[in-house]
Amino acid sequence: MAGLNKVSVDDINVKGKKVLVRVDFNVPLKDGVITNDNRIQAALPTIKKLVADGGKVVLCSHLGKPKNGPEDKFSLAPAAKRLAELVDANVIFAKDDTVTGENAKKAVAEMKEGEIVVLENTRFRGAEETKNGEGFAKELADLVDDQVFVMDAFGSAHRAHASTAGVTKFVKETAVGYLMQKEIKYLGNAVEVPERPFVAILGGAKVADKLNVISNLLEKCDTLIIGGGMAYTFLKAKGYEVGKSLVDLEKIDYCKEMLAKAEKLGKKLLLPIDTTVADGFPDPIDAPIEVAIVDSDKIPADKEGLDIGTKTQALFADAVKSAKTVVWNGPMGVFENPTLAKGTIAVAKALAETDATTIIGGGDSAAAVMQLGFADKMSHISTGGGASLEYLEGKVLPGVAVIADK
């Protein structure tokens, strides 16, 4: 089993100690209200374990991408409030624009065992956080008297930031939390020791984002399915007319190489055989839109492909039926539009109905599966889009590498 050979929260004794936990509370907010608390829920097992063990639990996370320093709309206050509703422990939000300033120090100093302090958005420190500034990393460690750091933010593990990596230089003990273990167990097994047949499904708009993933997965999987906007660059590479569809001209040769690689390795690479076209991209994105379905090699010059067609839905669903492991990353079309969500719904439904281990690689696919009500039918929904992609590429995640080995 491709597990994670790292010290975990089960291996450390935190009673009476201050523990800094990097969580991923980067939740979507609308007018200050959390619209999906999935990431907070995912962090609960680790938080509850540390609280039950008598630790003084200090949580840090980023939220969004504040460009202009501290702004209320990027505050972690709503996340702290939601957490307080979900745990039987005292939760204190340390409102502090410098994250580790006087307010934070006071809140941590006054903590009792089994209490939780939530720090302010780590990105309020700008480049000090994102460029892994040593000063900020040391301040975070000093808050917990350089005692214990637990990494449980899979969604940020592909970034070497002060709060995900730099801080580990200054603490005595490091460990991974339960979410990290679970994420890497599922993704690691899928990539390293999958039960076969192993089918990988890649969608989304850009080929460029998934270049290395395509190449790596072709070596690991039995069938690679490509849908979404990136499929049109592959269709173009096969010499098809794709009309006004999204095409990355610089990547056509790469797509040709991948088609040749699949053939050489004896892998199936499935592309859409028909496509849903319209006059152009819907504006606004969820506006009513007139569509037609045409074969992939007969896309009219004045039309844009925006979703897979019905024959392709059946082809892709059929490939999933006999699979034992399926990894899916990226929607099949413009799923934010009801008319253009049919391909993504068909794939989600096929995954919900198969007996295979099904792993959804975060980001838009995770959002689609949740919106469509299929979440409880999947084996694992990753909390990190970018992190799961980098993991599927075969990269070592910096936020994992820095944790002590067992």
- Active-site positions read 39, 206, 363, 386
Q: Which two tokens stand for residue 98?
A: 């410098």
Task: Give the chain's length.
Answer: 406
C-alpha distances (whole Å) from 337 to each of 69, 281, 314, 331 are 34, 10, 21, 12
DSSP labels for 240-256?
A: ---TTS---GGGHHHHH
Alpha-carbon distance 403 to 219, whole Å?
29
183 vs 359: CA distance, rounded Å = 10
The whole-angstrom separation of Cα 21 and Cα 19 is 6
Give the span between the Cα atoms of 317 and 392, in whole angstroms.
22
CA dist list (Å): 168 to 16, 40, 130, 338: 20, 23, 15, 46
The DSSP code for 84 is: H
| Residue 32 in tokens | 């200050």
Q: How far apart are the first and last CA of the chain?
A: 16
**Cα 222–223–227 angle (5° rounding)?**
155
Most distant CA pair in the chain, distance:
69
Question: Residue 154 has which token pair?
Answer: 């899979």
Integer angstrom CA distances of residue 90 from 70, 116, 145, 165, 377 = 26, 6, 21, 28, 34
DSSP state letter for 165 = T
Supply φ then ψ for residue 113, to 5 degrees.
-60, 140
Q: What angle do CA 356, 190, 213 make, to 5 degrees?
A: 120
Cα(339)–Cα(306) distance, integer angstroms: 10
Cα–Cα dist 367/303, whole Å: 28
